[in-house]
Structure formats: structure tokens, C-alpha cells
Amino acid sequence: MSAQQDIKRLTAPDILARKGGAPIVCLTSYHAHTARLMDNYCDIILVGDSLGMVMHGLETTVPVTLDMMILQGLAVMRGSRRALVVVDMPFGSYEASKEQAFMSAVRVMKETGCGAIKMEGGKRLAETIAFLVERGVPVMAHVGLTPQSINTIGSFRAQGRDEADWPRIEEDARAVAAAGAFSMVIEAVAEPLARKLTAAVAIPTIGIGASAACDGQVLVLEDMLGLSARVPKFVKRYGELGPSIEQAVATYAEEVRERRFPGPEHTYPMRGKKA
């Protein structure tokens, strides 16, 4: 057996077993190259439907299609070997019925080879989650701020800032956990609520803008690398790649215009002659 085959990919049950243990590291990726760079460090690589906004310049995630998710999910699977790859189900691919959700999830899993899917929603999705899990589809749930609902909620604002909203969000978290989700993303909620939800469920909570009280964290890679024009307040920038890329492009453009690139060291010599 080759060394390559020795690497065992993490599974949904491996992540479930991490509840209350070592914090779970998760980042988004939509490509083979970024997946390859993060694979050694991340437990989960999430192919988020945020790709619609980050990669395609869309205003929201609503227009993202199943085909877009499958194409990028496949790329991430090719670029990674160790992390559990979770692919987001886009708006409109799972809400109509549990059967629709199952058929969409089957397409994603068969066509990408990913280990799990993610769906946005709480209590209203519990029956669907149970249906999928019983049929072999590991589900990561997503509660708190659910960006696919932007047209009904009106803005991407934090959830549960008013304590009166807590019972509804807690009910959502308890319902998806009881339905069999192996983990859940909690997006944009204040720390005391994140702590309460994390204590209330027996599955790992993965926070984004939800404090260190969660069992793990996820960020959108381009946001933390300084590649996104606008980022939510909770994002910490771990790099500033935007300015570096722009500088590299500007230098290249200048050298091309001044005929300084390609120089002899980047030009093929004739056979038998030194460059």
C-alpha cells in the first residue's frame, strides 16, 4: 500500500466524537489548490455556498446552484486527502421535501465523493435531517443566522441579541441534534447564547461569529486572508494577500510593458546553446 493510501480521511463520526474535546478546525475552500494548502491543518473543509459571493461576485447565496456546488466540491476533494469535506446544499435544492433533499444530497455525494452535506435551518428541517441520516447521508446543520433566508430576514445581522429570541434558537439547535445531525454551524450569535447552545446539545457546535464557546470554529478562507473587499466584524485577518497579489500583478504588468519579462533566464534556449 502506498503512503498516499495510508492517509485516512476523517469521517462524520470522527467529528461527532470530538464533542467537548480538542477544538475542531474548519475553513471554507472552493478549489483544489486552497484545499491542498489547508488539508494538514483542518479537520473539516467546508465547500460553502458563500462561493457565490466570494468567487462569483453575487450579492447573496440565493442564486447558487447544485451544479456550482458539485463542481467546486469535486475540486476540493481532488485537492485534499485528510480533512472531512462537507458540501453545502444550495438554496432551493432541499426545502421542498425530504425526498428532494435526499436526491440532491445523493447527487452531491456521488458526484463529488464528499463525506457529508450541510443544510441551513433548524426545527423545520428536523424531519428532513432524520430522513437523510437514516439513508446514509451525514448532515451538518446550520442555525442562528441562515444567509439563504436573506430575503425573509432582511439583513445579515446577528441573531439572538435579544434574549427573547433565545428559546426559538435553542429549540432549533436541539431539534437538529435530536434528528441526527453530526454537527452544527452556529452563525452570528452572542457568546452567552453560543455557550448555552453548545451545552444543550450532544453534537459539536462550529461557530462563525459565535465566540470561543463553541466546540470548533469556521471562517471563510478569503475573508481571513484579506482577499474579500468587505468582511463581517467578527472576522480576524490572518493575512493580507489582496495587496500582495495586486503588487505582484502591477510588477508583472510593468515588466511586460517595458519588455523586461521574459528575460533570458525565463526563455527556452536553442538546443545545445546556453541561454
Catalytic residue ranges: 187
When asked if residue 49 is in the footprint of ligand KIV (CB under 6 A), the reply is yes
Cell triple for residue 139? 448532515
CA end-to-end span of the chain, whole Å? Answer: 44
User: Judged by CB under 6 A, which of 87, 185, 190, 213 binds ligand KIV?
Assistant: 185
Name the minimum Å distance from CB 142 to ligand KIV: 6
Q: For the CB of residue 54, give the shortest distance to ligand KIV in the complex, in Å.
A: 8
Q: Residue 28 or 159: which CB sits closer to ligand KIV?
A: 28
Of 2 and 155, CB closest to ligand KIV: 155
Q: Between residues 43 and 49, which has the closer beta carbon with respect to ligand KIV? A: 49
Q: Does 28 bind ligand KIV (CB under 6 A)?
A: yes
Span of 15-23, 48-56, 226-234, 243-251 interacting with ligand KIV by CB under 6 A: 48-56
- Of residues 108 through 127, those in contact with ligand KIV by CB under 6 A are none
Q: How far is CA 172 from the centre of its chain?
A: 20
Enumerate residues 190-229 that contact ligand KIV by CB under 6 A. 208, 218, 220
Q: Is 83 in the site for ligand KIV (CB under 6 A)?
A: no
Residue type, 1: M
Which residue lies nearer to ligand KIV by CB, 48 or 73? 48
What minimum distance in Å lies between the beta carbon of 258 and ligand KIV? 41
184 binds ligand KIV (CB under 6 A): no
Q: How far is the CB of 7 from ligand KIV (least distance, A)?
A: 25
Task: Output 66 or 185, the one with its CB closest to ligand KIV.
Answer: 185
Integer Cα distance of 217 and 206 in angstroms? 5
186 binds ligand KIV (CB under 6 A): no
Smallest distance, Å, CB 139 to ligand KIV? 14
Taking phi over 0 as left and psi of -120 to 50 as alpha, with beta for the rest, 210 belongs to: alpha
Of the pair 185, 197, the CB lying nearest ligand KIV is at 185
The residues of the shown chain that bind ligand KIV, judged by CB under 6 A, are 28, 46, 48-50, 88, 185, 208, 218, 220
